[in-house]
């Protein structure tokens, strides 16, 4: 099995690489931090590291072309950036970078991988979205927007590729202890340990869940919120920026 994992140098991506090493012929580990990737490379010669800034979409497309010839069986699109929560309007350059990394790079990376899977009539594509995609937080405008875009993209792609026997899985985690969440200076309900979070992600991948949100208690609370009248939702969300 040949696997591609983005955001591979730390956190969820790094843990997934360790989990899949015994089952993989080759893992293509993509991340921006070259030093962290070199550390990862020492673990196994099955790991091929690709240092790449996902905001550079032309370079991402070049990597896609390279990977298109590698008969990729599984792609885990884990990489994302998150700006600090802020009540201020996001500057354009920060907003653009968030969309380039979190969303547009996905299509660029899949450009040559998907046609290869279609020819072989097999493959699996996994998106790591977020429970943050279900509520449009006013203090994390670009992150919520990019993750919600992923939900739509994943559903579209799943139904587009069903005829080709390609599985598309969208995973929506809550808060997991990683470098990203360590930067948050607010209370994170149901914060999970990395190993527990990755256990659930791996289970969703293995069982081919079309969509999997966790932890369930947090997910159900969010769903209850979305059933509230829009005026009430807005009033509650506006309290975040006071």
pLDDT tens track for 59-78: 999 999 999 999 999 999 99
Is 12 in contact with 194 (CB distance < 8 Å)?
A: yes
pLDDT of residue 183: 77
Domain that holds residue 84: 2-241
Strands 123-128 and 26-31, sheet pairing: unpaired
What CATH number does residue 146 fall under? 3.40.50.720
218 CB neighbour count, 10 Å cutoff: 19
Phi, psi (deg, nearest 5) at residue 162: -60, -40
Counting the structural domains of the chain, the total is 1
125, 165 Cβ separation under 8 angstroms: no
Mean per-residue pLDDT for 114-122? 98
* Distances 88 to 80, 142, 193, 233, 239 between C-alpha atoms, Å: 21, 12, 31, 20, 14
Q: Are strands 47-51 and 74-77 parallel, antiparallel or unpaired?
A: unpaired
- Residue-level pLDDT at 185: 75
Residue 193 has pLDDT above 80, yes or no: yes
Give the strands of the sheet with 74-77, arranged side by side. Answer: 47-51, 26-31, 2-6, 74-77, 123-128, 166-173, 211-214
* Residue 242 pLDDT > 80: no
pTM equals 0.94
pLDDT tier at 240, thresholds 50, 70, 90: confident
Instruction: Report H helices in the chain.
Output: 11-20, 34-41, 57-67, 92-99, 105-120, 141-161, 179-182, 194-206, 216-226, 230-238
Q: Work out the average pLDDT over 187-204.
A: 94
**118 near 69, Cβ under 8 Å?**
no
Q: Rounded to whole angstroms, how far apart are CA atoms 34 and 24?
A: 22
- The CA distance from 71 to 120, in Å, is 8
pLDDT at position 85 over 80: yes
What pLDDT digit, counting tens, does each position of 54-64 carry? 999 999 999 99
- The interaxial angle of helices 194-206 and 11-20, nearest 10 deg, is 60
The per-residue pLDDT for 135 is 92
Q: What share of the chain is helix, strand, coil (3-state, %, to 5)?
A: 55, 15, 30
């Amino acid at each position: 099995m040949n696997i591609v994992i983005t955001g591979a140098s730390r956190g969820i991506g790094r843990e997934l690489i360790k989990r899949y090493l015994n089952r993989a012929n080759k893992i293509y580990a993509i991340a921006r931090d070259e030093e962290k990737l070199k550390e990862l490379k020492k673990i196994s010669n099955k790991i091929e590291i690709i240092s790449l800034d996902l905001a550079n979409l032309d370079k991402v497309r070049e990597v896609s072309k390279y990977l298109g010839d590698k008969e990729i069986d599984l792609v885990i699109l884990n990489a994302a950036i998150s700006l600090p929560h802020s009540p201020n309007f996001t500057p354009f350059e920060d907003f653009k970078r968030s969309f380039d990394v979190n969303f547009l790079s996905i299509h660029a990376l899949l450009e040559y991988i998907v046609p290869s899977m279609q020819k072989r009539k097999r493959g699996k594509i996994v998106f790591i979205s977020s429970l943050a995609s279900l509520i449009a937080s006013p203090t994390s405008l670009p992150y919520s927007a990019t993750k919600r875009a992923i939900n739509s993209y994943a559903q579209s792609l799943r139904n587009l590729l069903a005829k080709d026997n390609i599985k598309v899985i969208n995973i929506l985690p809550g808060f997991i202890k990683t470098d990203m969440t360590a930067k948050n200076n607010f209370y994170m309900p149901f914060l999970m340990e990395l190993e527990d979070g990755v256990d659930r992600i791996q289970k969703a991948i293995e069982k081919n869940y079309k969509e999997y949100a966790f932890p369930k208690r947090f997910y159900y609370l969010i769903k209850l919120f979305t059933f509230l009248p829009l005026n009430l939702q807005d009033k509650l969300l506006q309290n975040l920026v006071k």
